[in-house]
Amino acid sequence: MSTIEQKALAYHRQGSAGKIAIEVTKSVGTQEDLALAYSPGVAAPCVEIQREPARAYEYTAKGNLVGVITNGSAVLGLGNIGALAGKPVMEGKVVLFKKFAGIDAFDIEIDETDPDKLVDIIAALHPTFGGINLEDIKAPECFYIERKLRERLAIPVFHDDQHGTAIVVGAGMINALQLSGREIGNVKIVCSGAGAAAMACLDLLLDLGAKRENIFVCDSKGVLSTRRQLDGEKAAWAQDTGATTLSQVMVGADVFLGVSGPGVLSPRDIEQMSKQPIVFTLANPEPELRPELVREAAPDAIIATGRSDYPNQINNALCFPYLFRAALDSGASTINQEMKRACVMALAEMARSDSRFGKDYVVPGLLDPRLLSGVTPKIAAAAYGSGVARKQLDELVYAEDLKDLAETLL
C-alpha cells in the first residue's frame, strides 16, 4: 500500500468517520426555541408552504441544498464499484460544494442500476433539494437519466462528469488556441474517448465554434467512422474516413483531447501533430501520455492534465460550485447552455487576466480566491438573460456579497 493510500485511509478514519456532518443554524438553547423549531411552531411554515410552494425557499434550507447523487456505476478511475463504495467520493463532492461556494449538500448513494427506476427515485426525492448534481453514473445511461430528470423537474439537474469537464476544457482550449494563434473553427481535433465526458466536451467545443468535420473521435475499437455500425451518441461523430486507428488520425492534428485511459497515446503520435500542438491528456490518475513525454516529443506543446501535480489541471471544481451557487441564488429552473458558456468565458478571462497567463497557466488555479465572485455573477446574469431565472441580481452588488462569503470559506 502506497504512502498516499495510507494517509488517505487515516484521514477518513480519524475523529468523526468520513468528511461531513450536519450543523444546526438556529438557536435551540431554550424551551421557546424548541417550540419554534419543532412542535408546535413548525406547523406555521408548513401551512405557508402548502399554500405557496415557493415559500419553501424562505422557510427551509431547500434554496441552499444540493443533492449529490450516484449509483456508483462509474466512480472516478475505479469503474463500477457500487453505490456504497462510491460514498467517500460523494462526501468529497459535498466538501467541495461547501468549501468553494458555501452550498450545503447531501450525498445520496442509490443502489439501483435500472435507468428508469433510478429516474423515478431521484424525481421522488426532489422536494428536498434546490438542485441535483448527478455524479459517477456510467454512459450511456447517464445521458438518458439526466435528460429525463431535466424534463420532469423544475430545479437544476447537472451531470458534472459530462458538463463540468466540458466547461473547464472549453475555458482551457480557448486560451490555448489564443496562445498558439489559432482559430477554433480551423483546427483539427482528435478525441480519444467516446464516453459521457468526451461527448459533452465535443458538444461544447462545437458551441464555441469548432467544426464537426474537423473532429475525429476514437473509442477502444478505433476511429468512429461511417464504416462501423454505430448508433446513439457515437453515430453522430462518425466520419467518412478510411482511417481506423488513433495514430492515423493524429497526423496533422492541432489538438488532442484525451478523455479515455492511460497509455493510448505515444510520443510518435505527438510528433505527427502540427507545430505547437495542444495536448489535453485528462485520463486520471494516469494520463494518456505523461506530460514530460509529450514535452520531449513537442517542446512547444501546450499541455493540460487532470492531475494536481502538473500545470493546467482540468478540474470540475473550477465550475460546478459556481454554477450551482448562481443557479440557487437566481432561482434558476435549470442550468442551460447560456449559463455553461458564461462559465467558460469567465474562467478563460480570469486566467488571461493573471500575470501567470501562458502555456503553463491556461485555466485558473483551484484555490484562486477570485473564482466565487468573478465567475458566479456572470453565470447568474446569463441565467436571467436567457429566461430561466426568477431573480435578476445586481451583478456588482452580488459580486461584493460573494467576496464577503469567500472570505469566510477560504
Query: Do the Cβ atoms of 293 and 346 come closer than 8 Å?
Result: no
Query: Do the Cβ atoms of 223 and 244 come closer than 8 Å?
Result: yes
Residue spans of beta strands (DSSP E) within 253-338: 255-258, 278-281, 302-305
Q: How many CA atoms lie within 13 A of 197 on its CB side?
A: 29
Query: Do the Cβ atoms of 160 and 133 come closer than 8 Å?
Result: yes
Say which of 93, 148, 188, 340 is annotated catalytic: 93
Residues of the chain by 3-state class (helix, strand, coil), percent to 5: 50, 10, 40
* 360 assigned to a ligand binding site: no
- The yes-or-no answer on residue 93 being catalytic is yes
Say which of 38, 117, 221, 391 is annotated catalytic: 38
Query: Do the Cβ atoms of 287 and 343 come closer than 8 Å?
Result: no
* 107 assigned to a ligand binding site: no
- Max distance between CA atoms of the chain, in angstroms, equals 78
Select from 149, 166, 136 the least CA-distant residue to 68: 136
* 336 assigned to a ligand binding site: no
Report the sign of the C-alpha dihedral through residues 307, 309, 313, 319, in that order. positive
Select from 15, 2, 62 the least CA-distant residue to 328: 62
The secondary structure of residue 145, as a DSSP letter, is H
* 404 assigned to a ligand binding site: no
* 161 assigned to a ligand binding site: yes
Bridge-partner residues for 313, per DSSP?
305
Rounded to an integer, what is the distance from CA 209 to the centroid of its chain? 21
User: How far apart, in whole angstroms, are the C-alpha atoms of residue 258 and residue 261?
Assistant: 8
| Axis crossing angle, helix 337-352 with helix 320-330, rounded to the nearest 10 | 130
Measured at the alpha carbon of residue 106, what is the angle toward residues 101 and 108, in degrees to the nearest 5?
Answer: 135
- The yes-or-no answer on residue 221 being catalytic is no
Query: Do the Cβ atoms of 206 and 180 come closer than 8 Å?
Result: no
Bridge-partner residues for 229, per DSSP?
none
Select from 379, 319, 336, 285 the least CA-distant residue to 164: 319
Rg (CA), the chain: 22
Sheet holding 189-192, edge to edge: 222-223, 215-219, 189-192, 255-258, 278-281, 302-305
Could you list the active site residues? 38, 93
Q: Which residues make up each annotated binding site for a divalent metal cation?
A: 135-136, 161
Q: Which residues make up each annotated binding site for (S)-malate?
A: 284, 315
